[in-house]
Amino acid sequence: MSNQVIVVGGGLSGLSAAHTILEHGLNVLVIDKNAFFGGNSTKATSGINGALTKTQIQLGIKDSVEAFYDDTAKSARDMLRPDLVKVLTGRSASAVEWLQDKFKLDLSLVSRLGGHSFPRTHRGKEKMPGMTITYALMEMIEDLSVSQPNRVKLIKKARVTNLIKENGAIVGVEYEIQNQSGNKLKAWGPVVLATGGYAADFTSDSLLKKYRPDLMDLPTTNGDHTTGDGIKMSLAIGGKTINMEKVQVHPTGLVDPREPDAKVKFLAAEALRGVGGLLLTADGKRFCDELGHRDYVTGMMWKNKFPIRLVLNTAASKEIEWHCKHYVGRGLMKHFKNGEELAKEIGISPAELQKTFDDYNLIAEGKVKDPWGKKYFHNVPIKMNQDFHVAQMAPVLHYTMGGVDINDGASIKDTNDKPIPGLFAAGEMCGGVHGANRLGGSSLLGCVVFGRTAGDSVADYMKSNPAVGSGAKADAGKSISLPGGFTTSVTVDPQNQKINLEISWAGAAVPSATAATPAAAAAAPAAVAPPKKLRSISAAEVAKHNTEKDCWVIVNGQVLDVTTFLPDHPGGKKAILLFAGRDATEEFNMLHKPDVVDKYSPESIIGVLDTNSLPAQARGNSSETSNRPVIYQPTSSSIHRDITGNRMMNVNRLAAAGSKHTAMAAASMRASQYRALAQRFNSSDAKKTVAEAATATPAVKSGLRFRTKAFITLTLIGAGVAGVVKHSFDDEGFRTLLEDNIPHYAHSLDKLEQIRDNEDFEKVIKGASQASETAIELSKTAYRKASDLINGTTTPAPEKPSSNASLAPASNLAKKIQELEQPKPAVPAARAEYIPSEVPKPAFLPGAAPGKAAASSDKTVVEKVVKKAEEVKDLAVKKVEEVKEKAEEVKEKIQHKVAEKKEEAVAPTPAKKLITVAPIESEEPIMSNLNTTLTQLVAILNESGIPEQGHQVFEKANEELKHLSERVEALKVEGEAQAATVMAELTEKYNRLVSEKETHHEGHISQLKKELAEASELEKKQAIERELKIQQEILREEQKQELMKYAMDMQRRWAREVRVRVENERGGRLARLDQINLRLKTLERQGADNAEFLDQSARTHQLWCGIKALEKAYEAGERRPFDRELARLKRLAESEKDAEVLKAVLAAVPESVATAGVDSVPELMDRFEYVADKVREASLVPENGGVLAHGMSVILSKLMFKKHGLVPGNDVEAVLARTEYYLQESDLEQAVRELNQLKGWGKRLAKDWIVAARRRVEVGQAIDVINTHANLISLTLA
């Protein structure tokens, strides 16, 4: 394809980029290494963020882009990229509305997740939001790849291995198909990388191991395809990365009680905490702000006792009901009827759990401050008599904030901070977008925003570089326009010896044909086999196949063998294995559309469920259970999309099974499917289809559709080949190119020229007659269809006389219409008992009970008649246009042949009877155009001198056309009259309703006015009383102050008098009392100093205890975490004055090292012996040595003499000898210094040991500094 853009990755970001590229008028090639598109985006459970969206405005949420930016910046911390965050938040609303408008997605629910100041996370009422959004984009791109293959190409199970770089720009990719690793293929064009992060990269060249080895043991929520392929390819061509050490650990991964140590876990939606879920420790206590940032909640979880449980009360479970049902169905969440049952599950008393709930309720009411700073509370209060949904949680690897460095246009930068031309990124692999921590709901948003940004940028790049994708590397070819709306595009690749042929008919492309090569022939699909007969399988037999190597499941009444499908399942094989040997209908329908199996894995369907093998309750035979849901009963989601065509795949398969109970089960299934659909959509059309399904016999699917498609496809390919031949006749250069590259083409072309020169003129006349007959048949069919719809009858199609058998291929469409009109036989009376009793009979059907529905039956019938008439009219118009185009084509050919015959004529032919066509007067343009076309065709035949061959045909066509015109006019008049009647009735009805509403609202407004007046008077009275009370309080306070002032004055005067009298009487003894008072103050000061000294001494002792505890953990004989001891010292340091040095030393110890611990000296010595041997073996390998050099080094190292002690020299043996000496002397620091002198392969092999030893040395130095500081404090107390 020319103007092609390559998108690597079929997740939400890649699909968003692909759709945006198509919107710009460019072509797109999407390559994904998985068997299905979707990626990790389908697993997103909370929703997509958006600020100032239409949904928020409708819900009255006063959010803003600025607030969203501030929340994201706060989460990003010191790694904020303002340019990227502005793009993310500023384009959030347009991204959400693009999904709503273009893909018709339901995003009407908005919730608040952790770290957000407003509710801004959008999701729909059903299903996982990530799956719903991604599937919508995926289905549309797949449909476009079929309808427009010249613009959209999809390649799955293909891994891109390299980026092709020429003159500093990316011009294409190199990829290989799965299981064909030796066959490298290339595609040309600018590239958008959307391959995701590296949170499941546990391989030998793992990015996770390189940047965060401390997280390698954690489970992950990512699929095994998340290995950072795009980042690695970008690095290989000089791309720059950023924040690679930032990996987000999500706090709420669901723990499966059956497999608690599983490496891959399902993610619990953050919305579970957003709606009011509580996180409780193993003791039933809260320990954090549940709406805090993810890294904060994860850190708090690690500090507390596991198992950690997420608890949702009745109101929270109801708000997020779909998620709870989904998790319960997978066995990951439990339901408890009350708090007593929950307390028993946790292992605490009900009183303890009651206290936890009471404390939380007080915090939510604002009576008590939350010790963890929680500000937002939902679905409170929580009471013991409520029911609860509970699941165990564990931290899991979830998202990588690091990735390639991009600018605000999604262009990937090189190491010089300059954009790499032709290379763009989207989605999780974009580094710096979220900084140090990602907010919940911003994953899907980042995919859509930067997917669309990359699409816009690559479109601008293509406009400024028009030669990209169309130059020397592109396929060279030509396009040919043929009569009848055909366009044939031929592309020739001489280098690979391939010729590609693409044909489009009336704007719709058909699959391209490629010249056969050995590889293409090997990959050619086998011929489509006829539908296989499905056998009936019992539930007991299905239950036997319940292992990974032999896995069967039941879905909507079908039995699927998914053993080979497990590795390709986008959600992981574990999601299916949970239901191995069981019925997964309910869970399947919660997540998927009904046509997923038929569309993506039809070969897995091996049979239908034998309903006789089920319990009576499951078959629905008991009247007591008729209203209860049946787990084995197919639901409405098992109905095929095309309801009006009765294309129900499950019913057809039941009919094909051929068992004795199948026919009745099929009728029951059809009725139950349509009943569920009618309840879901609550429409008259769906109700009518229920009644039709109850009396219809399931028909076995015929091969007509395949044969028709095969015939049309072969016809179009033949027309395309004819176009190539025709262009070879006209263009000598094109002919030479084909003759040089296609064997025997020149010989074949010469034969075709001879056939063209001897072409029989009678074939042209025959083609004209066939086109005329086609027009007549279409007119008759349209006329009969319109008459039946108006009169409510079914007219059988007239049989064709044997003389017209030659016209059968030309009237294939008429035959299809006739087949659709054939009445279906009714179901025998014996099957009536299988029709559910609760299905109401539609009011517009004969025999329906009168009621409210009957009042609108006439209007419904009129609307359906008008709608059907318009459909028939559109069909007639479309087909007549096609016939007109064919007639024009025949007309041109006939004119050409007539001119040739006139030139060759020698004698004039005798006069013959001419064909006449009566004019048709009609206001419909299509009828006039059809009449004009027939008139012109008759004139051509008259001029050709052979009118008798088409005389009767055209007279009959003229008569039928006249009848059709009259009937269309009558139908139009009748429809307008019926529409006018209905409009008059509706106008009267709604006028009456408006009048009633006006009267009602006027009375309501009067009542409101009265109530507002009374409320105003009451409020005014209360305000006066409040003001009076305030004035009284002020006066009372003033009086109190005056009395106190007077009392103090009296007390001072009385004290002076007493002092004078006592002094006079006791001769100055008060002076001695002052001296005593001074001494008492001195004693008080000394006591305070002693207390402060004792407090400082106590803190010093606590510090020494903390240091000794840290030294104990440090000096342990094995690796042991000391994060608690380090945290205790940090708290003590906060209470110390002038302890900046101590704080700095403690802060220098990484939390990851404290959590993991450091290796002991004996462990390092043991490990050094192994490392030393490996270093010796690689000591003789040069810097760029290969396998032979390594082998020689291993052999020669055995001949080297080991050195011991403090030997001089910089050779490997000397360094190892000195390192060993210092280790034996317990001088680990000097040993590290010596070993660090190694170079080349030796240093690479010893790198891990050096890092481990250096961490121990660093921690030891920190402990020495802390000891020195503690000694200094002790000296100050001496």
Q: Contact 187/172 with Cβ under 8 angstroms?
A: yes
Q: How far is CA 357 from the centre of its chain?
A: 36
Beta bridge partners of 49: 121
What the block records as the tokens of 10 is: 């079929």
Residue 245 has what DSSP assignment?
T
Residues 1128-1152 as b/e (b if ≥16 CB within 10 A, e otherwise) read bbeebbeebeebeebeebbeebeee
Nearest-angstrom CA–CA distance, 433 and 426: 11
State yes or no: is 1269 an active-site residue. no
The DSSP result for 696-730, as a single string, is: B---PPPSHHHHHHHHHHHHHHHHHHHHHHHHHHH
Nearest-angstrom CA–CA distance, 663 and 827: 9
SS percent in the chain: helix, strand, coil, step 5: 55, 15, 30
Beta bridge partners of 28: 5, 152
The DSSP result for 148-213, as a single string, is: -TTTEEEE-SEEEEEEEEETTEEEEEEEEETT-TT-EEEEES-EEE-----TT--STT-HHHHH-G
**Residue labelled with tokens 């708000």:** 319
Do β-strands 403-405 and 430-431 pair in parallel, antiparallel, or remain unpaired? parallel
Q: Contact 788/872 with Cβ under 8 angstroms?
A: no
Quick one: CA dihedral 13, 15, 19, 21, positive or negative?
Answer: positive
Candidates 1113, 1136, 1175; CA nearest to 1276 is 1136
Q: Contact 278/377 with Cβ under 8 angstroms?
A: no
Nearest-angstrom CA–CA distance, 945 and 928: 26
Nearest-angstrom CA–CA distance, 1097 and 1089: 12
State yes or no: is 582 an active-site residue. no
1229 exposed, middle or buried (CB, 10 Å; 0-12, 13-18, 19+)?
middle
Do β-strands 48-49 and 158-166 pair in parallel, antiparallel, or remain unpaired? unpaired
Rg (CA), the chain: 42
* Given the residues 116, 250, 286, 294, the one annotated as active site: 250
* Given the residues 273, 294, 619, 1256, the one annotated as active site: 273
Contacts of 65-73 spanning 24+ positions with Cβ under 8 A: 65/89, 65/90, 65/92, 65/93, 67/117, 67/118, 68/92, 68/118, 68/120, 70/117, 71/115, 71/116, 71/117, 71/439, 72/434, 72/435, 72/439, 72/442, 73/435
Cis peptide before 908 (omega within 30 of 0): no
* Nearest-5° Cα angle at 1164, 1158 to 1165: 155
* Helical ranges in 538-661 per DSSP H: 539-543, 573-577, 585-591, 596-600, 616-619, 649-657
Q: Provide the annotated active-site residues.
A: 250, 273
